[in-house]
Amino acid sequence: MRTALGFAFEAQVTDAMESTTFAALGSAVVDALLSAGGIFEMRDSLADLSFEERCKKVELRLHYDGHEIQNIDVNVFGQNRVAPAVLQSFKETLCRLLFLEADRVTVKAYHVPETALALQVQAAVLIG
């Protein structure tokens, strides 16, 4: 079993809060998956791809390397409240892209008005 963390930070939200949050969630999860799989060097080659394409490539590489994603936990901390629909949409997208059952993924948001950054995301993954 391997575990890893991925992080994403936004100092200020300039686009729509929903799209910025979704992008930050995706970035943190992909970084955590790359780290857990010991394939972080792939990160630069994924930079120009959409979130969906990055997930598919990373999942395929993990599969070929003999790894299976066991669990993903994502926590969002932000000055603004994140709509539950955004979190649910991200979870559903992640489950679909990574072939995971819903009980293997948690996505939670915490409203922290006094935080220095507009948005902070922490993703923890467990692969076997």
Q: What is the pLDDT of residues 69-105, one digit of tens each?
A: 999 999 999 988 888 999 999 999 999 999 999 999 9
pLDDT score of 15: 63
Cα(52)–Cα(96) distance, integer angstroms: 10
Q: Rounded to whole angstroms, how far apart are CA atoms 45 and 122?
A: 22
Which residues span the domain enclosing 51? 2-127
Indicate the helix (H) or strand (E) that contains 92.
helix 84-98
What's the pTM value of the predicted model, to 2 decimals? Answer: 0.93
Mean of per-residue pLDDT scores for the chain? 93
Amino acid, res. 48: D
Is residue 4's pLDDT more than 80?
yes
The pLDDT of residue 13 is above 80: no
Token pair 């955004």 in the structure block, residue: 86
Number of domains comprising the chain: 1
CATH of the domain at 97: 3.30.1330.50
